[in-house]
Amino acid sequence: MQPTQPSFPAPPDQDPRQTGIAAFLHRIFFGGGRNLADQSLFTKITLIPFLAWVGFGADGLSSSSYGPEEGFKALQGHTYLAPLLAGFSIFTIFTISAAYNRIIRHFPHGGGGYVVANQLLGPIPGVTAGSALLVDYVLTITTSIAAAGDAFFSLSPEHSQYKLLMEAGLILFLTILNLRGIKESVLVLAPVFLLFLVSHVLLISGSLAIHGGEFPRVQREISEGFHHGYSTLGLGGMAMLLMYAYSLGGGTYTGIEAVSNGLGLMREPKVENGHRTMFYMAVSLSFMAGGLLLCYLLWNTAPAAGKTMNAVLAEQVSHGFVGSGPFVIVILVTEGAILLVAAQAGFFGGPRILAKMANDSWAPHRFTALSERLTTSNGILLMALLSFAALIYTGGDILQLVVMYSINVFITFFLSMLGMMRLMMKEDTNHPHWLTDMLVFTVGLVLCGTILIVTVYEKFSAGGWVTLVATTALVSLAVLVRAHYRYIFRKVNLLFQELENISHPEGKYNSQPVDPSHPVAAVLVARYGGLGIHTVLGILRSFPHHYKSLVFISVGVVDTEGFSGASGLRSLERETLRMLDQYVQMARAMGIPAAHRHIIGTDPVADSVKLAQSVAGEFPNTVFFSGRLIFDRERWFHRILHNETAYAIQRRLQWRGLTMVIMPARVP
């Protein structure tokens, strides 16, 4: 067998294409490509628990900027219920966190609600959970950015006409930052996260300390409020009001699932680091949400035009102290900045869920691809575009966005809890953790179901219907995409069945090496199957006795599923070599000398061109061939669902003076 070419393409800075002003600007904004041969690569791009807390936890932590406020407002003046609301909120945070800790244990490769629903409830609940998560992550970005705008412009309400423009600019900024790489974006925003944490701990602690001597008075007021509420609303009325406020404050719990969804981005050991990150998130969010609700009660904080309640609280607490003005500015700026960090969760989680759905053929396969920076760039760009659209549609109205956002969060929560309960029912009840796990998922199911039903019922006309319509439309689109891919798979599989049993003449097996002086046909292949075999037979039929040898070349494409560390790259390389060897053995059985060449990379076009140039240097009389599916009636969606890789490679090779022929395979 011929020796193979190096397994990895040349490092990005050796790529001759990356020259000129356009390439210079690309490197400035998005950074240079990653070198897959770098042994420390996975350490450089994965997240330790603290950085994961910054990247994922900010989504949950930032919800304290709007979730507790919405819940407190929904009490409608019955603020004596605030301690109960705070208690229920803390209990819910720890319950959902405990449930997702167990999901991490059972599904250590990430995917969260989509994987749970897909594997435990079936494909339709799975695609529903995945679609809900995608809409949720779009709204994560939009809601966080809109809330950040509200916080920033609380400092200067008279200039609020520029708020929407600034929010659009922030989405653009985060898009560029995430295209550079996940870890880089987290490192840039980590100081903001810490400043928010410290400033808000001081705000809440200071609020409670200043009013520490007034707890007996507040306790009397709460007691009197309960008696008054009992006489006017009744016990049932107070319970319904509390449940109403609890449900409308559901935005507080958004983002808890982000750690489970993005587990693949964490450093090994992923499960232990995921549990640690989840603990950090639960404790910090409980302190923030519960503490703010109590502070609103103690300080009699009320909404003010053009200001968030946290802005009003900061002004109340710092009034009369030296440096009160700068303190309020720090609170609001860090609150806006943490919301900016929180929008990162949408750019982290959304593309990864989209990639998992694409691997299952619910979405175009191109969303599984990684860029040269090893980011899911197609997914990131889609998240950005949809976030722009949501921002424009709602005008950055945080009230409408929080309602839209919360509904899909709890659809996913509900399906996750239901799936895990079903799993528990199938497991051994004698397992030491069975009863605890079952209790956690049951309570979580009841809590999430209650919040979902109340929110949809109360806020359906206030924006809830938009989320439900968008999610239903996305589920329907995903079903159509999968139906198309399954149809194509059946057609290609039928072609493979027809061709795999082609007869080989007895005694014609040829194991001779490829002669560089003779005409060589180099065949680009991605997998062993009907399309590749059809291409080989087409070459032999179209150019009889002309090509004396075949060289099969392939790029082992590292996508979101294959990018799981150095072991994942080795597994991908073994699979690529196994596939190429099948083609070589097939050609030799037909009496044709054959060899193969391969590299491992992220860009099938650029890396195929590099490999082809190397093969052309080794075998000067080479013509390149590739197969492509063609349809009787080419539709607009074919270009979205099926990439144009063959044409793109052909154009680049022709520019370099190399000949490439595309052999069609008809799909009726």
Measured CA to CA, the distance from residue 502 to residue 109 in angstroms comes to: 40
Residues near 311 by Cβ (< 8 Å), separated by ≥ 6? 151, 154, 155, 304, 328, 331, 332
Residue 393, pLDDT > 60, answer yes
Interatomic CA distance for residues 484 and 647, integer angstroms: 22
**Intra-chain end-to-end CA distance of the chain, in Å:** 38
* Whether pLDDT at 2 is above 60: no
Q: From the CB of residue 380, how many other CB atoms can be counted at a distance below 10 Å?
A: 24
Residues 535 and 453 occupy one common structural domain: no
**Span 550-570, mean pLDDT?**
71
Statement to judge: residues 156 and 83 lie in one domain: yes
Q: What's the mean pLDDT in 288-313? A: 86
Residue 14 has a pLDDT of: 43
Confidence grade of residue 4 (pLDDT, cut at 50, 70, 90): very low
Total count of residues recorded for the chain? 668
Give the residue, 615 or 29, on which the prediction is more confident: 615
Better-predicted residue by pLDDT, 47 or 652: 652
Q: Which residue has the higher pLDDT, 220 or 639?
A: 220
Grade residue 3 by pLDDT with cuts at 50, 70 and 90: very low
Looking at the predicted structure, is the pLDDT value of residue 562 above 70? no
Report the pLDDT value the prediction gives residue 30, as an integer from 0 to 100.
46
Mean pLDDT lowest among 148-157, 194-203, 446-455: 148-157
Are 455 and 556 in a shared domain?
A: no
Please name every residue paired with 597 in a beta bridge, in sequence order, or none if there are none.
553
* Residue 518 and residue 549 in contact, taking contact as beta carbons nearer than 8 Å: yes
C-alpha to C-alpha distances, 629 to 88, 492, 634, nearest whole angstrom: 57, 9, 11
Best mean pLDDT range from 19-23, 57-61, 219-223, 402-406: 219-223
pLDDT score recorded for residue 41: 46
The tally of domains found in the chain comes to 2
State what percent of residues in the chain have pLDDT above 70: 85
- The vertex-584 CA angle with 583 and 585, nearest 5°, equals 90
Q: Is residue 22 part of a domain?
A: no
What's the confidence (pLDDT) of residue 662? 92
Span 621-640, mean pLDDT? 83
- pLDDT for 457-502, tens place per residue? 888 887 788 889 999 999 999 999 999 889 888 877 776 666 656 6
Residue 23 lies in a domain: no
Would 282 be classed as within a structural domain?
A: yes
Task: Assess whether 441 and 534 both reside in one domain.
Answer: no
The model's pLDDT over 226-260, given as tens digits with 9 standing for 90+, comes to 998 888 889 999 999 999 888 888 878 877 877 78
- Residue 257: which of 287, 283, 281 has the closest Cα? 281
Residues 400 and 540 in one domain: no
As a whole-number percent, the residues of the chain with pLDDT over 90 amount to 26
Same domain membership, residue 445 and residue 329: yes
Q: Are 358 and 214 members of one domain?
A: yes
- Residue, of 262 and 529, whose pLDDT is higher: 529
* 19 part of a folded domain: no
The answer, yes or no, to whether residue 388 has pLDDT greater than 50, is yes
Nearest to 192 by CA among 172, 168, 165, 173: 173
User: 561 and 616 in contact (C-beta within 8 Å)?
Assistant: no
Chain Cα centroid distance, residue 447: 25
Give residue 374's pLDDT: 43
Reference 608, options 570, 653, 665, 641; nearest CA is 653
Q: Is 446 part of any domain?
A: yes
Q: What is the mean pLDDT of residues 579-593?
A: 91
What type of residue is 366? R
Q: Do both 242 and 350 map to the same domain?
A: yes
Q: What is the mean pLDDT of residues 201-220?
A: 83
Q: Which residues contact 133 (CB under 8 A, 6 or more apart)?
A: 112, 113, 114, 261, 349, 350, 353, 408, 412
Confirm whether 258 is domain-assigned.
Answer: yes
* Mean pLDDT, residues 562-579 taken together: 74
Helix (H) or strand (E) holding 167: helix 163-180
Label residues 148-158 b or e (16+ Cβ within 10 Å = b).
bbbbbbbeeee
Per-residue pLDDT at 311 exceeds 70: yes
Q: For 349-386, how does the pLDDT look when each residue is reduced to its tens digit (9 = 90+)? A: 788 888 888 888 999 888 876 554 445 678 888 899 99
Based on the domain organization, do 280 and 360 belong to the same domain? yes
Q: Kindly state whether residue 28 falls inside one of the protein's structural domains.
A: no
CATH number, position 606: 3.40.50.620
Over residues 174-191, the mean pLDDT reads 70
Question: Cα–Cα distance between 122 and 368 in angstroms, integer?
Answer: 22
Picking from 501, 187, 495, 154, the residue whose alpha carbon sits closest to that of residue 328 is 154
Q: What is the mean pLDDT of residues 545-564?
A: 78
- State the sign of the Cα–Cα–Cα–Cα dihedral 227, 231, 236, 242: negative
Where do runs of H (alpha helix) occur along 460-521?
465-499
Count the alpha carbons within 13 Å of 569 in the hemisphere toward its beta carbon. 15
Residue 509: pLDDT band (50, 70, 90) is confident
**Predicted local confidence at residue 468, as pLDDT:** 92
Q: Do the Cβ atoms of 402 and 308 come closer than 8 Å?
A: no
For residues 235 and 324, membership in a common domain is answered with yes
pLDDT in tens, 472-484: 999 999 999 999 8
Q: Give the C-alpha separation, 214 to 574, whole Å.
A: 70
Q: What pLDDT is stored for residue 11 in this prediction?
A: 42
Q: Say yes or no: 241 and 308 in one domain.
A: yes
Q: Are 414 and 541 in the same domain? A: no
Establish if 478 belongs to a structural domain: no
Domain that holds residue 259: 42-421+434-468
Question: What distance in Å separates the CA atoms of residue 601 and residue 475, rounded to the nearest whole number?
Answer: 32
pLDDT by residue (tens digit) across 26-71?
454 444 555 455 444 445 555 677 777 776 767 777 777 778 888 8
**Phi then psi dihedrals of residue 109, to 5 deg:** -95, 5
DSSP 6-22: PSSPPPGGG-TTS-HHH
Strands (E), 94-237: none
Q: What is the pTM of this model?
A: 0.74
What would the two tokens of residue 59 be?
């989504």
In contact, 164 and 391? CB cutoff 8 Å: yes
Say whether pLDDT at 125 is over 60. yes
The contacts of residue 533 (CB under 8 Å, 6+ apart) are 496, 499, 500, 502, 586
Give the lowest-confidence range in 362-376, 440-454, 583-597, 608-622.
Answer: 362-376
Q: At residue 341, does pLDDT exceed 70?
A: yes
